[in-house]
Homo-oligomer: A and B are copies of this chain.
């Protein structure tokens, strides 16, 4: 199968390819399964940068030794509503899966719960985790720092990470309401793509090493990226540094970049997840009020606007109908090369 030149892979084939690569690169079996689930989910949803391509990133990070390939995450109950999972230097996915039952149990018991994943390596989007929590009928919010590439509003030097924030809300039907976005103006990869294509970047994406606005992608990558939404986005980014950094005893983006020490591996650090049980506030009236939320969604789509993740869910629907995904030939060749 893997040698089949056809770029269409069934989900089973993509899973097998991911497993083969990750095993070959030394990742322990439980991590292989957890990482494979997010890789396949990303590719299925048309998120090229968080799909099969990420196997290349994983292989590179594994080669640097900056991720503990056989880490056994340890979940601990801290308080009636708080859970900590020490990922012990491994990938975040398995740590999340190991902590999820405690998070859900505590959230149902207390009405709200939070889980800190500490000491983990990040490379995935947050929405797979959000969707796993929302599938239990809970509302979820998650965020994580990354590497210090982004200047605060009014500043000139990198301090914040691209610091994604994600949110999910349960809906009737197959797709929840989910958003997941970086608090940087754009993804770092977007600036890199402009650099490769020799195209200028729009104003507002970055500043040069003197802190001056620039449309030169190389100058912005050497200087600093900017947050989305000016001082408001910058304030949110600072909040993420704090609540998914010092609040849980983990690194800020500046500390994570320092720990990377030029290795160019995925960001290390923590993640904070907050879950809320609508039944805690609403009791028997939960279904009634969740139905009222549907009026808000209709109010968005009814005027021709998109819901966040709508494109992703449409891609998922197409992939599920086809039973798999088509990989770009060059990517497929690069993936096969990881098996050597």
Q: Which residues of A contact B (CB under 8 A)?
A: 78-82, 84, 109-114, 116, 139, 151-157, 159, 167, 169, 177, 179, 181, 183, 211, 228-236, 238-239, 241-243, 245-249, 252, 254, 274, 276, 278, 280-282, 285, 289-290, 292-293, 295-296, 299-300, 303-306, 308
Given known pairs A139-B243, A179-B235, A247-B276, the reply for A80 and B111 (CB within 8 Å) is yes
**Cβ contact within 8 Å between B113 and A112:** yes
**Cβ contact within 8 Å between B242 and A232:** no
Closest B residue to A159 using CB positions:
B299
The contact of A181 among B235, B252, B290, by CB within 8 Å, is: B235
**Cβ contact within 8 Å between A308 and B80:** no
Given A153-B305, A167-B239, A238-B308, 20 extra CB contacts under 8 A: A78-B111, A79-B111, A82-B281, A84-B281, A112-B112, A139-B242, A152-B300, A155-B300, A155-B305, A159-B300, A179-B235, A179-B239, A181-B232, A211-B303, A228-B233, A229-B232, A234-B305, A246-B289, A246-B292, A252-B295
Of A84, A114, A234, chain B has the most CB atoms within 10 Å of the CB of A114
> In the complex, A238 Cα to B232 Cα: how many Å?
16
Closest B residue to A278 using CB positions:
B247
**Cβ contact within 8 Å between A289 and B112:** no
**Cβ contact within 8 Å between B81 and A81:** yes
Q: Chain B contacts of A292 at CB under 8 A?
A: 245-246, 252
Q: Chain B contacts of A114 at CB under 8 A?
A: 111-112, 276
> In the complex, A157 Cα to B156 Cα: how many Å?
37
